[in-house]
Chain A
Amino acid sequence: MKRLKRLWRRTVNFAVGRTGDRRLREEMDEHVALQTEENIRAGMAADEARRQALLKIGPVEALRESYHAEEGLPKIETVLQDSSYALRMLGKSPVFTAIAVITLALGIGANTTIFSFLDAVMLRSLPAKDPQRLVKLGAEDWNGITDSYACTELYSYPFYRQFQRTNQVFSDTAAIFSLTNDAHGFIDNRSESEPIKVQMVSGTYFQTLGVPAALGRVINENDDSTEGNHAVVVISNAFWKRRLGRDPSLLNHKIKLGKTVFGIVGVAPSEFFGTTVGVAPDAWAPLSMTESIPPGWTGRKENFSESLYILGRLKPGITMQEATANVNVVFPQILHSFPDAKLTPDNLASLARAHVQLESMARGLSYLRLSYSEPLKVLMVIVALVLLIACANLANLLLARSTARARELALRNALGAGRMRIIRQLLTESLVLALAGGFLGIAFASLASRILLRMISSGQHAVPLDVSLNVRLLAFTFAVTVCTALLFGTLPSLRATRLQPADSLHGGRGSSVLGARTPIAKTLVISQVAISLVLMMAACLFLRTLVNLHRADTGFSRENVLRLDIDSTVTGYKDNDPRLKELFRQIEERVRALPGVQAASFSAFTFNEGSWNTSIVVPDMPLDLRANIKHNIVGNDYFNVMKIPLIAGRSFGPEDTSASQHVAIISEHMARMLFPAGSPIGRTYKIGDPNDFETVREEQVIGVVKDVKFGGVTEQTQYLDYLPYSQRDWGFGDFEVRYTSSFGETSRDVQQAIHQIDRTLPIENVTTLDQQVAASYGDQMVIARLSAFFGFIAVFLSSIGLYGIMSYLVSRRTSEIGVRMALGADRSVVGWQVIREVSIWILVGIAVGLPITLEGGRLVGKMLYGLSGSDPSSLAAAAFVLLAAGLIAGYLPARRAARVDPVVALRCE
């Protein structure tokens, strides 16, 4: 209490800068006066009396200092003094300061940027109440609709309802449709449709997450009670702001999706982005409305139409193990209770095998996490290494400075500053530099994260990922900044204070200075080269991987194809409506007639867009349920657009109508592996497995085409077949156009042509096929570009380091060189010696870095395509770049050495 009171007073004094200096002086004057009078009374002469009084009160300056120390907070004052001194010293060498701050800002900024993504994608918790208690059934994040028996990843609606009732471990249970509906709708009576991303959820969704509405109410259990008549949505805060201008009277607004008009009942809190990181729905609708929201998924009542994620909140005290045990008891019970279960031996076997794994939902779901976890980790290491190189550079710069400042430090030392005091002063300077770099780095990071966000977004819209500044990020940056300061500041300050003041004051060029500095500087430069090799190698590996991916044969021709998405659900036609097919046909015809267009076709898929896959039954062949055939529904011109060569038979034509024999074109691989020997043309097969044919229709093979890649560039050869949309119903999808003119022109003409036919059709994602293929390895593109960028920065920084130390050494040796030249040494020989020295350092650095590089290459091996982590040509390229950059850095000092004038050099001494 006493101490607290005192601390408070001192802090206040310190803060308001109050000093009792005047009061003390006055008190002491009075003291001396009184004492003098006393002395005079005792019989002393006036002069003597005053002298004695002064003697008695003691040394005034020391007294003032100790008085002052009692008064304020001397330690903090010292720090401030040090800081202002540091600022003055740094201000005296603006070039050094600028270089240091910019280097640090780049390094710290890069670290902050990558960490902000790492945090948003991998670390941050869901914006829900107590997210640690949320779990999800199933460990792999599948999405789609399946009818397989005993699926442990996706669940049917009836299953969810039964599970909600019978499980004993969750206090709340919710279901989420595993696909997000990228619908287009009309707000109020606006005539233009808008893209609206709808997430369908169970009535318990918000309650389970513990997320209340920011305005209005959330979706509740009643909204999900009966099918089809609860047309309500909760909209996201961003959508409310963007589309409704934050109008608080929600009841005045409606959203029309497909044919149904939805009322807006609430707005979600602004920080709530749903349950999938990187996917922010515009609206949440109850699962009861599944069929009304385009594309109108069906199967809500079916026991084996599995499309939902199930998540639950653990009851208090229930552990993950207990929950897993209970879920796996309930799971088979529910499946057995379904009367329509097809208890084939296969299905029973898969039920026996089935084990539901529980996964924490604390961090939510994320597809980004799947593809970007590894790249982000690698990038984090890369930027940390870049910062390390920057630190080494700064340490070297500071070493050089401390040599230059040796006299100043020696003087301070001689004047009584202890070694600790000087070290503290020097470290304060480092810290001031680092903090300046940190501040600039944060500014730099906010810019860089926008660029990076753009880079990881495949479509036109940036991925909705919150990478803005937050407390955690700031704490990270601050920690990095302080560590950085310690890293580059400690060594030089220890070294600087080991000087003997006498030596330095004497000549300022004592031999001990030179001898002491260079080994550390050399070590620093060599480690820079070693780390640069690691980074350069990474850059080469990832760049070559990218080139390999670019060059990979997809089987179709990527160039000169425009692709776009249209959403035909806004027409309100059902998939099997002949008017819809007529619309497709008209668009194809109109576009094909455009100048500069060679071919145009709709398709269900083009590349990397998911799949519809089943097994098939081919007469005279054994049934293979594991053979997954991916089906594509296409227009007649599809193979011309994609330039997929027809190997045998014919392509689709106008003769294939809904009334004629159902036909299919199959891929080469499928023909070879799944059909009897000989030509498959004319043979028939059925889609689906024999237990659940949706129809009895048979497809007759009319052609065989070459294999193409379907899901990704690096995938194995797939079984693919193609069906004409005249015979198979499909609602909406891709439209591809092969053009000979420019992309811009074609894009404009095509969109005009489509809107001439139907003005309301929303057109989205207009891009080239080439870009779509490239987007499928977007993670590789990001890591290749960034690792190349940072690799070059690393090499650049190391070159500066090499240049710095070489120049220093040359200037130190000027006299030695002068002597040698005076004795007849050739200029070029002197120059070569410098170059040779640089080369040796680089080679030593490479030798040191080699094992680390190879180990690093092994670690990233899985992320590479078409080459191994120890790829010799990448290694050679990396070493070559380093050597070349190093030699350029060494050339300037070498030239200076060669130009030394012996007379001038010798006079210097």
Chain B
Amino acid sequence: MRQKTDVKQGTLALMILKTLEVLGPLHGYGIARRIEQISGDLLSVNQGTLYPVLLRLEQEGAIESDWGASENNRRARYYRLTRQGRRELQSEVEGWHQTTEIMARFLSAKTEDLS
């Protein structure tokens, strides 16, 4: 059995922002579902932990929320990326790319490269 990886809070926030960027306004369940799909069930999240993170992002002004109707026509809270959130996402993504690139290069280095 493949081991499932825990997520750090910061990465979870980034995933949420990215999800909202790609899919537009979404409720909590939709976000959780999407993250699960993309990570290919590699990620085990207590899905509830999403909500405190959503709250923090909202307090920071990266996302907004409002009540709306869900697929089965009940009340659900929809989250939407703000312009500030978009900017933040962009810089975070760049930072993340840089880090992974460096790490990838570093980890693929051969003995002769390091000597």
A-to-B contact residues, CB < 8 Å = 2-3, 5-6, 9-10, 20, 23-24, 26-28, 30-31, 33-35, 37-38, 56-60, 63, 66-67, 69-71
Q: Is B25 an interface residue (CB 8 A)?
A: no
Q: Of B28, B56, B77, which is within 8 A of A6 by CB?
A: B56
Chain B neighbourhood of A5, CB < 8 A: 59-61
B76 to A67, Cβ gap below 8 A? no
B8 in the interface, Cβ–Cβ < 8 Å?
no
Cβ contact within 8 Å between A70 and B77: no
Residue B70 at the chain A interface, CB threshold 8 Å:
yes
Query: Are the C-beta atoms of A30 and B75 separated by less than 8 Å?
Result: yes
The answer to whether A63 touches B52, judged by C-beta atoms less than 8 angstroms apart, is yes
The residue in chain B whose Cβ has the minimal distance to the Cβ of A2 is B60
**Residue A58 contacts which of B49, B55, B70, B74 (CB distance < 8 angstroms)?**
B49
> Smallest CB–CB gap between A850 and chain B, Å?
64
Q: Does B46 contact A (CB under 8 A)?
A: yes
> Are B77 and A66 in contact, CB atoms less than 8 angstroms apart?
no
Q: How many residues of B are in contact with the other chain, CB < 8 A? A: 23
Q: Which of B48, B76, B77 contacts A60 (CB 8 A)?
A: B48
A2-B61, A30-B70 in contact; A63/B49 too (CB < 8 A)?
Answer: yes
Besides the known contacts A58-B48, A59-B46, A63-B51, 6 further A-B residue pairs in the complex with CB atoms under 8 A apart: A6-B59, A28-B51, A30-B70, A31-B28, A33-B72, A60-B48
Interface string of B25-44 (1 = CB under 8 A from A): 00111001100000000000
Residues from chain A with a CB closer than 8 A to the CB of B61 are 2, 5
**With known contacts A6-B60, A26-B75, A56-B47, A70–B29 Cβ distance under 8 A:** no
The interface residues of chain B, by DSSP majority, are classed as helix
Is the pair A34, B59 in contact by a Cβ cutoff of 8 Å? no
Q: Contacts A30-B76, A34-B72 known; A67 to B29 CB distance under 8 Å?
A: no
Count chain B CB atoms within 10 A of each CB in A33, A37, A57, A66 and give the residue with the most. Answer: A57
By secondary structure, the A interface counts as helix
Structural contact, B60 and A34, CB atoms closer than 8 A: no
The answer to whether B48 and A63 touch across the interface, beta carbons within 8 angstroms, is yes
For the complex formed, measure the closest distance between the CB of B58 and the CB atoms of chain A, giving whole angstroms. Answer: 9
5 smallest CB-CB distances across A and B, nearest first, come from: A58-B46, A63-B48, A58-B48, A34-B29, A9-B59
- Across the interface, which residues of A come within 8 angstroms of B112, CB to CB? none
CA distance A192 to B47 in the complex (A): 91
Please indicate the chain B residues that have their CB under 8 angstroms from the CB of A24 in the complex.
51
Q: How far is the CA of A23 from the CA of B65 in the complex (A)?
A: 11
Docked pose: A70 CA to B53 CA in angstroms:
8
Assembly CA distance A66 to B46 (angstroms): 13
- Alpha-carbon gap, A28 to B27, bound state (A): 11
Q: Is the Cβ of B72 less than 8 Å from the Cβ of A37?
A: yes
Kindly state the separation between the CA atoms of A499 and B23 in the bound complex, as whole angstroms. Answer: 58
Q: Is the CB of B47 within 8 A of A58?
A: yes
Q: Do B56 and A70 have beta carbons less than 8 Å apart?
A: yes
A residues less than 8 Å from B47 (CB atoms): 31, 35, 56-58
Does B113 touch A at the CB level, under 8 Å? Answer: no
Instruction: Given A2-B61, A59-B46, check contact A26 B77 (CB 8 Å).
Output: yes
Contact residue among A30, A31, A59, A71 (Cβ-Cβ distance under 8 Å from B55): A71
Q: Given that A34-B29, A57-B46, A59-B46 are contacting pairs, would A27 and B51 also be in contact in the complex, using a CB cutoff of 8 Å?
A: yes
Roughly how many angstroms separate A20 CA and B65 CA in the complex, as a whole number?
13
CA distance A63 to B51 in the complex (A): 8
Expressed in whole angstroms, the minimum distance between the Cβ of B55 and any Cβ of chain A is 5
B55 touches A67 (CB 8 A): yes
Contact, CB under 8 Å: A35 / B52: no
CA distance A605 to B64 in the complex (A): 88
B6 part of interface (Cβ distance < 8 Å): no
Which residues of the other chain, A, contact B51 by a CB distance below 8 angstroms? 24, 27-28, 63, 67
Chain B residue numbers with a CB within 8 Å of A56 are: 46-47
The reply to whether A57 and B70 form a contact with Cβ atoms under 8 Å apart is: no
State the CA gap A23–B75 with chains docked (Å): 11
CB distance from B90 to the nearest CB of A (A): 15
One of B52, B60, B70, B72 near A66 (C-beta < 8 A): B52
Determine the chain B residues whose CB is within 8 A of the CB of A58 once the complex forms. Answer: 46-49
Question: Which residues on the B side are within 8 Å of A35 (C-beta)?
Answer: 29, 47
The smallest C-beta distance from A648 to any residue of chain B, in angstroms, reads 100
A10→B29 CA distance, assembly (Å): 25
Residues of B within 8 A of A70 (CB): 52, 55-56, 59
User: With the chains together, A60 CA to B60 CA distance in Å?
Assistant: 24
Enumerate chain A residues within 8 angstroms of B48, measured Cβ to Cβ.
28, 31, 57-60, 63
Tell me the nearest residue of chain A to B61, going by C-beta: A5
How far apart sit A855 and B45, CA to CA, in the bound complex (Å)? 71
Name the residue of chain A whose CB is nearest to the CB of B84.
A2
Minimum distance in angstroms from A18 CB to a CB of chain B: 12
Asked whether B29 lies within 8 Å of A31 as measured between CB atoms, the reply is yes
A6 to B53, CA, bound (A): 13
CB B51 to nearest CB in A, in angstroms, measures: 6
